[in-house]
Amino acid sequence: MIEKQRVGRTKRPGNKTKARVRVFEGGKTRLKSDTLATEEPMEIRLVTGDVRQTVAVTMRTPGNDFELAAGFLHGEGIIASKDDVKKISYCTDPEVDAEQLYNIVNVELRAGLEADISPLERNFYTTSACGVCGKASLEQLELRGCPVVPPGPVLSPEVVLSLPEKLRDAQALFDSTGGLHAAALFDAQGNLLALREDVGRHNATDKLIGWALMEGRLPLSSGVVLVSGRSSFEILQKCLQAGVPVVCAISAPSSLAVDVAREFGMTLIGFLRGERFNLYSGSERIAD
């Protein structure tokens, strides 16, 4: 049982929230302070002149919000590089309630960029668990013009097996909350380049790719992405858009994730735990 503490919003929300929890253990009960992963809605708006249009609402852990917005729009094919973005900022419109001040992100696109947001208009609500519903099919990815991922790099099995421990060691928020997913970017030698955490695995991936976009690192043609949960169609879609050749997951892939990997020449690894992993696609990138 969790007893909520009433705390007014006086500043930007953090990624952790304190709560009082009643613990039942060994036939006894006690009260203690617990640390929870913060989960709040974030609305993404596209800005064109004086027109603001909501394209997504996601339940996320506050932090790296601009990366989340950029990564989401990149994964949906709305933007291709940081040059497509003129400005990203929190909404400061007078009518916005103070409680939501840091929960609305405006993305102003460069002049002349015509974005097709019709697929997003049909269903723009996303949850931390499953991402945007009603996603594109494999055929729609092909129509979007996603290219087959070029050859390389080649990883040794030892490098692959070393990745989960490196991801876990870098999860600072997970250590204090026990309730966050992570997405990490490595190079072919297994060096950790970046890591992002969130209550949603899709959000963590969007934050990671959004970071790469804003740093001008796309495409990630020599990168390896590891996600802490399972790999779904959406995870593969986002990585494909970013040019990621190797995607690894601690848990299982979905059938459509495997289809995407095989169709577009990606290496997909699942059940990466301990001293083993399953290779579902792209064996040419794993050394014998």
Torsion (CA) 233, 238, 242, 245 in degrees, nearest 10: -30
Place of tokens 């027109």: 51
Active-site residue flag, 146: no
* Distances from the Cα of 254 to the Cα of 42, 249, 257, 284, angstroms: 27, 11, 5, 21
SS3 for 96? Answer: coil
Is 139 marked as binding a ligand? no
Is 276 marked as binding a ligand? yes
Q: Going by C-beta distance under 8 Å and a sequence separation of 6 or more, which residues neighbour residue 259?
A: 138
Is 75 marked as binding a ligand? no
Is 271 marked as binding a ligand? yes
| 128 DSSP assignment | T
Task: Report the relative pairing of strands 51-60 and 2-3 from DSSP bridges.
Answer: unpaired
Residue 72 to residue 62: CA distance in whole angstroms: 15
Contact at 8 Å (CB) between 284 and 268?
A: no
Is 201 marked as binding a ligand? no
Is 272 marked as binding a ligand? yes
Q: Going by C-beta distance under 8 Å and a sequence separation of 6 or more, which residues neighbour residue 75?
A: 205, 206, 209, 234, 237, 238, 241, 242
Catalytic residue among 91, 130, 146, 248: 130
Give the count of beta carbons closer than 10 Å to the beta carbon of residue 108.
16
Give the count of beta carbons closer than 10 Å to the beta carbon of residue 142.
12
- Residue stretches of the annotated binding site: 271-276
Residues that are catalytic:
130
